[in-house]
Structure 1
Amino acid sequence: MAGERRQRRDAVANRARIVAAAAQVLREEGMGADMRRIAAASGVGIGTLYRHFPTRDDLVHAVTGTDLAALADAGLPGDGTAADALREFFTVTIAQLADNKAMIDVLTSGSPADEDLQRCITHLTRIGQDAVDRARHDHTLAAHVTASDIAYQLLGLTRVAQLLPDTRSTVTRHVEFALRGLMASDIATPSRPATTST
């Protein structure tokens, strides 16, 4: 009996070590990370890893599920215009995702039918609706912009983060590009100084 309890404790400890090591390796390397490297980083054999996680997807979901839950807790900042709130939300979210290659892989390579991606799209659409509702009062977003437009703009920025070699130095620039397509034209287009005739 004592031996069985010890085996269960060892199994729980091994699983926790695997998940912790996988979180680090997957964030650094993305979903293409070598499972043998994860096993070595966790201090277990590859057979032990596969006993706990029979497929790569099982392990990826164990790691990214926590990250997706954190993203699902995020929302628009409470104050500021709809455009300003989206600017802050987009910038912070993409900067965080840039440090997590596995999350970027999940969000950019998954099919829209994938459960994790669909949950994310549903949440981002709710955030988009919050921004659209706010814009009804401050008129900073174009009247034709929908909640889905906003959700897919963020997913598009995620793809940009995946492609750019140095996202941190360019994320603000690409957030501004995305916002210009969402903002009311009199706000998105800078006013030009009047010219005087000679």
Structure 2
Amino acid sequence: MTGERRQRRDAVANRARIIEAAAQVLREEGMGADMRQIAAASGVGIGTLYRHFPTRDDLVHAVTGTDLAALANAGLSADKTAADALREFFTGAIAQLVDNRAMVDVLTGGSPADEDVQRCIAHLTRVGQDAVDRARHDHSLAADVTASDIAYQLMGLARVAQLLPDPSPSTVTRHVELALRGLIASDVAVSSRPATTST
């Protein structure tokens, strides 16, 4: 029994090391990360890695699942206009994505039928509906904007995050503002945009 308990403890410790190492490697390299690199970084053999995670997708899901859940639980701030709440939501979501290439790859590389992508689109559509409902009172969004429009704008920004050569906060802000131009009512677009300094 003592040997079995030790083996179980070792297996649990190995799994934890693999996930910790994979989180770092996948955040930096994305879905193209080499499984041998992850095994080496975690201090286990490639066979041990595959015993815990038979496929790359299994490992990626174990690593990105928490981050995807965080994105799927995020919502709009209650004390802002629809436009300002979307600006905050978009900026926070994209800032999270540019720091996690694997999560971006999951969202932009999967088919529309993939469970993770479906779950994110469904949640983002609910967030979009919240914004549309709020805009009926504050009129900060264009009248023809739909919940689906908002969801797919953010999914489009996820693709932008994947391609950005310089994902700095100012670059993220710029692309969020470009996306919001198509959503925000024309008479509030300028007044609600963050001030910029001229050079």
What is the CA distance between 1:187 and its match in structure 2? Answer: 2.3
Separation in 2, partners of 1:185, 1:73? 30
Separation in 2, partners of 1:38, 1:15? 12
Q: Hey, what does 2:110 align to over in structure 1?
A: 110
Separation in 1, partners of 2:157, 2:124? 13
Question: In structure 2, what residue type is equivalent to 1:92?
Answer: G
Q: Hey, what does 1:171 align to over in structure 2?
A: 172
Separation in 2, partners of 1:30, 1:78? 34
Q: Hey, what does 1:187 align to over in structure 2?
A: 188
Q: Does 1:7 align with 2:32?
A: no
Question: In structure 2, what residue type is equivalent to 1:59?
Answer: L
- The 5 Å alignment of 1:8-87 reads 8-87=8-87
Q: Hey, what does 2:196 align to over in structure 1?
A: none
TM-score (norm 1): 0.93
Separation in 2, partners of 1:137, 1:90? 21
What is the CA distance between 1:92 and its match in structure 2? Answer: 1.2
- The 5 Å alignment of 1:120-131 reads 120-131=120-131
Question: In structure 2, what residue type is equivalent to 1:17?
Answer: R
Separation in 1, partners of 2:137, 2:89? 19
Q: Deviations over 1:120-162 (max 9, x none)?
A: 1111111111100110100011111111110100010111111
Larger radius of gyration: 1
What is the CA distance between 1:96 and its match in structure 2? Answer: 1.3
Separation in 2, partners of 1:42, 1:78? 42
What is the CA distance between 1:77 and its match in structure 2? Answer: 1.2
**Percent of paired sites with the same residue:** 85
Question: In structure 2, what residue type is equivalent to 1:178?
Answer: A
Q: Deviations over 1:57-95 (max 9, x none)?
A: 110011111111111121111211100100111111101
Question: In structure 2, what residue type is equivalent to 1:76?
Answer: L
3-state secondary structure, aligned to 2:112 = coil
Q: Hey, what does 1:93 align to over in structure 2?
A: 93
